Every structure is written in structure tokens, then in C-alpha cells.
Amino acid sequence: QVQVVESGGGLVQTGGSLRLSCAASGRIFSINRMGWYRQAPGNQRELVATITSGGSTNYADSVKGRFTISRDNAKNTVDLRMNSLKPEDTAVYYCNGFVRTDTGANSYWGQGTQVTVSS
């Protein structure tokens, strides 16, 4: 009913930049909060950044000042611009959206995209 698809991961050197993109599609009435989470091997999934439909943002302390989240409400997309990347940013990055459809509201996840930062 709702699909969430990420793109833009890859391999980058320390100090480099990447941009992740995510698009939600389907029978969507509205999306309140969209965000990015990440999971490194052996670790739990953690919040990276979220943004509401009104533009309010929240960042993990570890990425503040380096990552920027943005969204296009009309297109149901959210981007994550990552600068000054560090090896500890290496993880699978997941997009999430809290989506309201004709059957109710649920949290939807993408399949994940790998980000690898080499030292």
C-alpha cells in the first residue's frame, strides 16, 4: 500500500560527502514525520535525523553540524545531506515515514542503503 525507497548510499573517504534520498509512494493522505535512522553491525538501529511536515528538525548529537535533513511535502520525499563523514558513520541507513492512508496511520520503513566511510 505504501512503499518507501532509499537511494544514494555508497563508499566515500573520511571527510567526504554523500546525499541520501528517499521517496514514499502509494495511497498517501499525509506524512507527518519523516526521518533517517542507521544501524551499524552489532548495534541497534538509531535515530539520525527527523523532520516534520512543518519543517521542524531533530538531529542526533553525533551528526549535528554535519548532516542536514530536508523534505518536499508535495513529492513525499526526504533527503539527508551528509558532510564531513567519519568512519563511525558507516552503517545501513533507513528511511522512515509516519504515513496516514485511507486505512489509518502507520510507520513505514525502506529497505536501507549502505553508507561506508573509509579511513
Tens of pLDDT, residue by residue over 28-79, are 999 999 999 999 999 999 999 999 999 999 999 999 999 999 999 999 999 9
The CA distance from 96 to 114, in Å, is: 15
- Cell triple for 107: 510507520
- Cell triple for 77: 520525499
DSSP-derived pairing of the beta strands 113-118 and 10-13:
parallel
The CA distance from 12 to 16, in Å, is: 6
User: Cβ(51)–Cβ(35) under 8 Å?
Assistant: yes
- Cell triple for 85: 563523514
